[in-house]
Structure 1
Amino acid sequence: MPPDASPSRHQRADGAFELAFGPSPRGTALRHLFQQAPLRILFPDPEPGEPPTAAILNCAGGLAGGDALRQSVRLEAGARATVCTAAAEKVYRSLGPDSRIETTLSLGAGAWLEWLPQETILFDGARLARGMRTVLEPGARLLAAEMLVFGRAARGERMAAGMVFDRWRLHGPEGLLWADALDLPDPGRLASPFGFAGAEALATLLLAAPGVEAHRDLLRGMPALAPGAMTLPRPGLLLARWLGRATEVRRAAGAAIAALRAAALEQPARLPRLWTT
């Protein structure tokens, strides 16, 4: 290499989107859209009687070390919307830097949002730093789910190296309602009997809505498709988690989402179409 030549640098993705919905005489309408490659937002026709659906698409096919995504969804008072991903997100093996995802959800008074991305698949050696911050105004409802798969389960790969730091913050009119973080600096803990006991996947589901006590009993009465548990961290907040084989965790989370859509959001008891196509 010539003395004045600098080492080559890897190209990094810096994707973003901003979505805003508001009420209109014909129902919820799109108010604002900004998108920056590699992120794109598609709007498939919703099923009859369902609110607008926004599909997040990563045109790069996945995230490499050093890539960053910024995601923002805002609902005006009374608006309703569903946001999903078009497919599972993939986080590839990193050469050192973290793959970063930051999400902000803002719900106006009486609005409700389904934040239902499909699973995030962590390749062996992936480094993911992800955060989600949600702000709810009075009367707002949120059904949110995230699923992590530790390795490419279909290939029998397990995540043996890398890092995961995944944090959630939920704010309401009276301040912080719930805070949680998964800090996994050493994927070796996945195999520990006092850690994840060899589980392939982890799914988290959060419902903020009135009457969640009855919804907890609903989930507890469903068939146990994967090892899991439900709790009420505080009034108006339901938390469910599943840990186990990737296919079983996805089925369990999917069944819970379908049941809660009907019970808490007055939607058909089925998964969004993007989950099944």
Structure 2
Amino acid sequence: MPRDTPPLPSRHQRADGAFDLVFGTAPRGTVLRNLYQQSPLRILFPTPEPGEPPMAALLNCAGGLAGGDVLRQAVRLEAGARATLSTAAAEKLYRSLGPETRIESRIVLEEGAMLEWIPQETILFDGARLDRRMRADLAPGAVLLAAETLVFGRAARGERMTHGLVRDRWRLHGTAGLLWADALALEGDLAAALGAPFGFAGAEALGTLLLAGGEAEAMRDLLRALPEAAPGATTIPRPGLLLARWLGPATAVRQAVGEAIVALRAAALGLPARLPRLWTT
């Protein structure tokens, strides 16, 4: 059957997961205000290491995502709250029988809040169909460090993504309106798109990092000086923003994104220069 044939309605059981997480402040620091979670998503709260803000660890109890699955993720930090959100493991998107896997994320940071949104990589199996949307709203004085990595195929098995869908959209809003927007759209013959010399040039993975608020612009030279930042890396400073991207082998991109997170969380966020334990265990 041709791959451009419209997908038929699926009779398979699909996941409909969600979480809504709110952090606030109290005399002892940042505290959990509200948590709603819907299977297969679960939020765990490991004890933070010294000097670290509260950690929310996202776990997908299903072990992966299939076509037709829907995840809705929402995080709000009240004024002055500080928190880190990561994932317990890399996320996997399996080959779809037709429908798309939809992931919708919403971040709201009130005045003076700080959030690290640093999930581990998302691995797209050959034939996966991803439709992902991220929106973040920042009040004055809020700071967001966000990083996402897409791996095109199971690199450890030598698999490359040859067909499927990758639709990834980011929107960043401030009090004055839209601050930054970005969209990636790949569909159909992904082997050609990912192999194009003036496109992805055969890269196994794409890493994206965004720092918004604070002294974001001043951090460009710091990133460019990192030893892992040179191959396939691009940094784009804008008023109040810093965007960095990496293309290359999956392991190298993960290493580069991790090094950038460590450097920025220390220099821009005043946190210890280390990755969360979830990234290293």
- The answer for the alignment partner of 2:54 in structure 1 is 52
Residues 52-96 of structure 1: CA deviation (Å, up to 9, x unaligned): 000000000010000000000000000000000000000000000
Counterpart check, 1:208 vs 2:209: no
Aligned to 2:145: 143
Deviations 1:16-39 (A, max 9, x none): 000000001111000000000000
CA contact (8 A) 1:145 1:206 kept: yes
Corresponding pairs, count: 270
Alignment partner of 2:235 out of 230, 244, 255: 230
* 2:176 equivalent among 174, 182, 185: 174
Deviation at 1:194, TM superposition (A): 2.2
1:97 Cα deviation from its structure 2 partner? 0.1
**Which stretches in structure 1 are left out of the alignment for 5+ residues?**
1-6
Per-residue displacement from partner, 1:147-166 (whole Å, max 9, x unpaired)?
00000000000001101000
Distance in 1 (CA, whole Å) between partners of 2:277 and 2:10 is: 43
1:185 corresponds to which residue? 187
Local SS of the residue matching 1:261: helix
Equivalent of residue 27 in structure 2, options 25, 28, 32: 25
- Measure, in 1, the Cα distance between the counterparts of 2:38 and 2:68: 17
**Contact 2:228 2:255 (C-alpha < 8 Å) held by counterparts:** no
Q: Is the 8 A contact 1:53 1:81 kept in 2?
A: yes
- TM-score (norm: length of structure 2): 0.94
Match of 2:6 in 1: none
What residue number does 2:106 align with? Answer: 104
Query: CA 1:109 to 1:66, structure 2 compared with 1: closer, same or farther past 3 Å?
Result: same
Residues 8 and 265 of structure 1: is their aligned pair in 2 closer, same or farther, counting only changes over 3 Å?
closer
Quote how far apart the aligned CAs of 1:273 are. 1.2
Please give the root-mean-square deviation of Cα atoms over the aligned residues, in Å.
1.1
- Aligned partners of 1:121, 1:268: CA distance in 2, in Å? 28
**Superposition TM-score, scaled by structure 1 size:** 0.96
Structure 2 residue aligned with 1:74? 76
Alignment deviations for residues 118-162 of structure 1 (CA, whole Å, 9 cap, x no partner): 000000000000000000001000000000000000000000110
| Aligned mates of 1:213, 1:182 — CA distance in 2 | 24
Q: Which amino acid aligns with 2:261?
A: I
What letter corresponds to residue 227 of structure 1 in structure 2?
A: G
1:251 corresponds to which residue?
255
Distance 1:197 1:11 in 2: 37
Structure 2: where are the runs of 5+ without partners?
1-8
Which letter maps to 2:169?
R
- 1:210-254: per-residue Cα shift (whole Å, max 9, x none)? 22232101111111354201111x211000000000000000000
Match of 2:245 among 241, 250, 272: 241
* SS at structure 1 position matched to 2:220: helix
AA of the residue aligned to 2:109: L
Does structure 2 conserve the Cα–Cα contact (< 8 Å) formed by 1:110 and 1:137? yes
Question: Which piece of structure 1 moves more, 17-26 or 7-16?
Answer: 7-16
1:273 and 2:277 aligned: yes
